[in-house]
Structure 1
Amino acid sequence: MDEIRATAAVIAARCLPQANQIARQIVADQHAALRDLPSDMRDVEIAATARHGIRLFLALAQGHQLTGADMQLFRDRTAQRVDEGVQLRDLMTAYYIGYRVIWETLCAATRPGEEEALRYLATLQLNTLEILTATITEAYLAEQSALMSERRETLRTVAHALISGRHDQATRYDVELTPPYHVIAIRISTEKLPTDQPTRAVATGQAIMARRTMRSVQREFDALAGHPVLTLLDGQGGHALLPAQPSIERPLARLSTRLETSLGAPVRLALAHAPTLADIQPAATQTTRVAAITEQNNLPSGVYGIRDVLLDYHLSTPGDSADELTALLAPLDEQLLETLNRYLACDFDRRRTAADLGVHANTIDNRLTRVRDLTGIDLRTAQGILLCGAALTVRRLTR
């Protein structure tokens, strides 16, 4: 074996003067895998890494013992490639190309009778390739994880600034903001863990569930948008800022259903529109209240807007819902508005209403049907009666 190793060292020594030539060949063959990198980077930085790898392997073939310091350049270069957006597949392909070129050089330098030494070098290549693959993969994943964590924290900071009304601060970060946005409040009715467990066990379990919930919600919104979405989440929900797209209600309803299935709890989404960055904060405030009302009323999982809970919203927080209430009556002409006012004043007695207005009772029925068709308010239901009364009152008070 000592003789084989000695012969292998001789073969390696023959290749050493060709290190620069081998490096140039490696860079040329790696062009397809690293084509997106600037040419000066390929010609200088990648070539330097190739020369380091070539000389390191040839040194190993001559008896050098591999150390952690020998691999540091590969770790550093891997971190740079992650920053530059090079895929792990392409990066490993580039290294495999380098190993192939080195192998071809070793074969060309081997003389008759040195075949056993060449086989020894092949085994050495496989062993070092295993070490290199593990080193590159670990460094790549570590750097990628750090970048993703940093990016996610940046997106969270931007989302927090927008939802808090500090949109001027949000624009300072390297995050593209493209209003209008759908502002979505997420409300998840989670079951509390049994309180007979030790306090630390309860806290740990709740923390795990919160992280799992946030990952599930983030994953669903990212998939819906096709890119990372600005979110501000906790274990019970939070907010998501989704770039506006038409007919979003149906995809959001499906998202709500999927989340309910995966989390095992009702998931209610409240939706509002923010035309500008400055509109995000009031929209977030509105959706927070809408989502809370849907939970308080034990409504099923789904997508809700302010009009879906308008009466509850207005009665609990009179103010910004007044315009929405009066807007319900906007499609009605004066005749229908007068009919509604008289109908409520007559305690929903259509005959008394007809007598007061001097028309037939069937005419009142026809007018109430038109009101329902134009506004969606059905006066045959308690909800419709309450909503109509509130809308008429707000209209009268704000005229």
Structure 2
Amino acid sequence: MTGHSLAIGGRDVSAYLRAHRRDLGSTVVDVLVAEIPVYARLPEELLRGDVRRVVTQVVGSFVDALSRAGEVTEEELRDLTESALRRAEEGVPMGMILAAYFRGTHVCFDAVTATATEADLRAVIELNRAILRFMEHVTAAVAAGYEAHTRTTMADRAVSSQLLTSVIADPDVAAAAQRAGVVLPPAFVAIELIVAEHPDESEPHIDARVVTRRKVRRVRDEVERHCATPVHWLPSTHDLTALVEYRETDLGEAGWGWVRRMIDDVVRAAAVPVHAGIAIADPARTQAALTLAAEVVEVAFRTGRPAGAYRLADVALDYQLSHATPAQALLAAALDPLADEPHLRTTLETFLAAGLNRRRTATQLGVHPNTVDNRLRRIADLTGLDATRGPDLPMLAAALTARQRTARIT
């Protein structure tokens, strides 16, 4: 096709497209609105302005590319990439942009082949080759535009998070924010996450770093998908720490429901258990909220609670018992007589977690219910505390929590 014109149905393809590109641009916009939901939600002035202009421009670029068998110039590639970058900044998904280009291609192809006959087969094949080559360039340019936006966004977020970290670390948060030019929200929701290891991370023939990065990316993407306000990712002693800007100073039941749904979706996206500690505070108390969220998730994780989101209210007793006090060592020591018989402590933990149900405990341990009874009596003989007596239960539960805390410290 290079060096000569392409005719189909007795019409010069380039001349036809050039003469009708504005009408084709309008037709493509109508098709996009009818077939691609994201375009149906765009303002009319944007559709009939910038979107129509870009579509018309792309038709013109394709006309020029026809004389080069579908190849495009460096300048045209830059224009396509910059257009994709603008769409990325506007929040239009890349898939929708690519779908738009392909829909536009269909419209133009149908228009120029409407009068094709069998004698035009070779010309139609040449046109298809040119379209495929052109769309190869378009796809690469769109991907480059979105990649550039992602790099810029990630860099901006990193700088923003670093700046925010320095602001909230200052004793006078308001003054620090003013000096740094940071506009603080009414409150921050602190989220501390403990993400379990994925089975592939321990496979010797699989690159664990790749698995970990993919898992963390899925977690971060899911959190950000649920948040209409900025999410700041901070350095963490656990797996991930996030500060979410929040418009209210209290989560309330509606906000807590939103957080729980978000973390449930995070667990599904990560495909591994994820525990989350949640706290909310005004900007001046953000550091305290971060500390509390970290302590809450630690308690939830260490006490064997299922994956999900936890507030202080959800772990209040264990949280209180997990903090170092003069009584903590005494509580932990109450279970010292079980040190040489670890199966007794396991039985006690399982019995309490099973709601004092001996049959459920037996099933989980894989033993006969009579064995559970015998072990509970043995625990009572050694410790003086009977797990089947109401007055002794708080002491045993507290002793287990204190023991876990003491074991973690040592």
Is the shorter-chain TM-score for this pair beyond 0.5, marking a shared fold?
A: yes
Aligned 8 A contact 1:270 1:304 in 2: yes
Q: Which runs of 5+ in 1 are unaligned?
A: 317-377, 387-399
Please list, as runs of the form range in 1=range in 2, the aligned pairs for 1:303-322 lying within 5 A after superposition: 303-305=310-312, 307-308=316-317, 309-313=319-323, 315=325
Please list, as runs of the form range in 1=range in 2, the aligned pairs for 1:64-103 lying within 5 A after superposition: 66=71, 69=74, 72=77, 73-87=79-93, 88-89=95-96, 92-93=99-100, 96-97=103-104, 100-101=107-108
Measure, in 2, the Cα distance between the counterparts of 1:77 and 1:118. Answer: 35
Aligned 8 A contact 1:183 1:287 in 2: yes
Deviations 1:213-235 (A, max 9, x none): 42243244345546774333669
SS at match of 1:281: helix
Measure, in 2, the Cα distance between the counterparts of 1:257 and 1:132. Answer: 43
Measure, in 2, the Cα distance between the counterparts of 1:172 and 1:47. Answer: 47
Check if 1:382 corresponds to 2:395.
yes
Measure, in 2, the Cα distance between the counterparts of 1:293 and 1:30. Answer: 57
Q: Which residue of 2 aligns with 1:393?
A: none
Which one-letter code corresponds to 1:182 in the other structure?
Answer: V
- CA shift, 1:251, in A, is 6.1
Deviations 1:153-201 (A, max 9, x none): 4335434544551667889999996433321222346599999x8xxx9
Residue identity over aligned pairs, in percent, reads 15
Aligned 8 A contact 2:70 2:130 in 1: no
Q: 1:146 to 1:235 in 2, by over 3 A?
A: farther
Picking from 49, 58, 63, the partner of 1:54 is 63
Picking from 284, 288, 297, the partner of 2:290 is 284
SS at match of 1:31: helix
TM-score (ref. length: structure 1):
0.56
Pairwise CA RMSD:
5.1
Q: Which residue of 2 aligns with 1:363?
A: none
Picking from 156, 169, 186, the partner of 2:193 is 186
Q: 1:10 to 1:213 in 2, by over 3 A?
A: closer
Which one-letter code corresponds to 2:297 in the other structure?
Answer: A
- CA shift, 1:284, in A, is 0.8
Measure, in 1, the Cα distance between the counterparts of 2:269 and 2:14. Answer: 59
- CA shift, 1:129, in A, is 2.2
Measure, in 1, the Cα distance between the counterparts of 2:251 and 2:398. Answer: 34
Measure, in 2, the Cα distance between the counterparts of 1:14 and 1:155. Answer: 51
Q: Which residue of 2 aligns with 1:140?
A: 142
Measure, in 1, the Cα distance between the counterparts of 2:235 and 2:325. Answer: 28
Picking from 126, 133, 136, the partner of 1:131 is 133
Measure, in 2, the Cα distance between the counterparts of 1:192 and 1:26. Answer: 53
Measure, in 2, the Cα distance between the counterparts of 1:89 and 1:260. Answer: 27
Aligned 8 A contact 2:233 2:243 in 1: yes
Measure, in 1, the Cα distance between the counterparts of 2:101 and 2:191. Answer: 44
Which one-letter code corresponds to 1:288 in the other structure?
Answer: A
Which one-letter code corresponds to 2:284 in the other structure?
Answer: A
- CA shift, 1:23, in A, is 1.8
Q: Give the aligned length.
A: 307
Please list, as runs of the form range in 1=range in 2, the aligned pairs for 1:188-337 lying within 5 A after superposition: 188=195, 190=197, 205=208, 207-225=209-227, 229-232=231-234, 236-242=238-244, 243=246, 245-247=251-253, 248-249=255-256, 267-274=274-281, 276-295=282-301, 301=307, 303-305=310-312, 307-308=316-317, 309-313=319-323, 315=325
Q: 1:122 to 1:227 in 2, by over 3 A?
A: farther
Which one-letter code corresponds to 2:122 in the other structure?
Answer: Y
Which one-letter code corresponds to 2:191 in the other structure?
Answer: I
- CA shift, 1:211, in A, is 1.6
Which one-letter code corresponds to 2:290 in the other structure?
Answer: A
Which one-letter code corresponds to 1:53 in the other structure?
Answer: F
Q: Which runs of 5+ in 2 are unaligned?
A: 33-38, 327-390, 400-410
Deviations 1:45-83 (A, max 9, x none): 5434322322332x25xxx68466596254554444444
Measure, in 1, the Cα distance between the counterparts of 2:262 and 2:113. Answer: 58
The structure with the largest alpha-carbon Rg is: 1
Measure, in 2, the Cα distance between the counterparts of 1:181 and 1:194. Answer: 33
Measure, in 2, the Cα distance between the counterparts of 1:172 and 1:26. Answer: 53
Mean Cα deviation higher: 207-216 or 76-85: 76-85
Aligned 8 A contact 2:82 2:145 in 1: no
Measure, in 1, the Cα distance between the counterparts of 2:201 and 2:52. Answer: 63
